[in-house]
Each structure stands twice: as C-alpha cells, then as structure tokens.
Amino acid sequence: MECEMPRVSANDEQIVDIFKKVRTIAVVGASPNPQKDSHRVAKYLRDVGYDMIPVYPKEEEILGKKVYRSLPEIDKQIDMVVVFRKPDAVTAIAEAAITRGDVKVLWTQIGIVNNDAARMAKDAGLEVVQNRCAMVEHDRLLK
C-alpha cells in the first residue's frame, strides 16, 4: 500500500460546520460485522442523530437500515459520503457523489487518501475531509 499525505482536507473549524449542517450520511463500505470499524462508525453516526444510509455490496439491512449497493441507487438526498474503501476506489465514489448533485461532503476515513479524487470533489464544490475518522472527530469536536 502506498502512503500519501492529504493535500486537500478540511480543518477542525470546517469539520464542526460540516457536522452541524449535514443530516443524511451515506457510509460506503458499511459492514454488518460489529467488530469492524465501518460498523462502529455507522452505528455511532446513527446513534447521534444522523440519517445513516449503509452502502455495501451485499446484505439487505445493516443496523436496522436498508442497504444500498451504490450511491446512485439511493433514492433520497445525501448530504455527506463517508468512505471505508481502498484509496483507489475513492475516484469512482467521488465521481458518483459529484454526479448525484446533492452531496455536499466527501469524507475518507483514517488511512484513506486519494488527493486526485479529493481535488476533483473540491473543484466540483464539495467539502473534503481525508484520513480522519468521522466518529472520533465528531466526538472530539462536538460532544
């Protein structure tokens, strides 16, 4: 795996604003396994009041929520996309988020950096957070 430093990413003040304005969060790579970070983060986001939408290639339900296979399949507005996928998958996810037209934030979890995808999302008007845990940052900055 290639290490990369995020060149495009929001600061703490911007992250606070992001969490205050978003309501619906799609978690790409949400796992049904309670031991996985993606499951714990999705559960946390749901439990603190966000409308969490799991995106996963299988399963019908995760954490009591309908599972979608991809961002284009989601039939309601999405404010933020949280990504639990390898860095090389982020480009396609960013493209799907941009194409939807309703996504305001692209967020990649710890260890996930794709500066080209981040720049593309930023240039399309999305806010971008890379290489940070949504659960940890929310707990640290808003609780």
110 occurs within a structural domain: yes
According to the 3-state scheme, what is the secondary structure of the chain?
CCCCCCCCCCCHHHHHHHHHHCCEEEEECCCCCCCCHHHHHHHHHHHCCCEEEEECCCCCEECCEECECCHHHCCCCCCEEEECCCHHHHHHHHHHHHHHCCCCEEEECCCCCCHHHHHHHHHCCCEEECCCCHHHHHHHHHC
**Does 26 reside within a domain?**
yes
CATH of the domain at 114: 3.40.50.720
pTM of the model: 0.95
Query: Is 1 a residue whose pLDDT tops 60?
Result: no
Domain of residue 127 covers 12-142
Number of domains in the chain: 1
pLDDT tens for each residue of 48-90:
999 999 999 999 999 999 999 999 999 999 999 999 999 999 9
Q: Is residue 105 situated within a structural domain?
A: yes
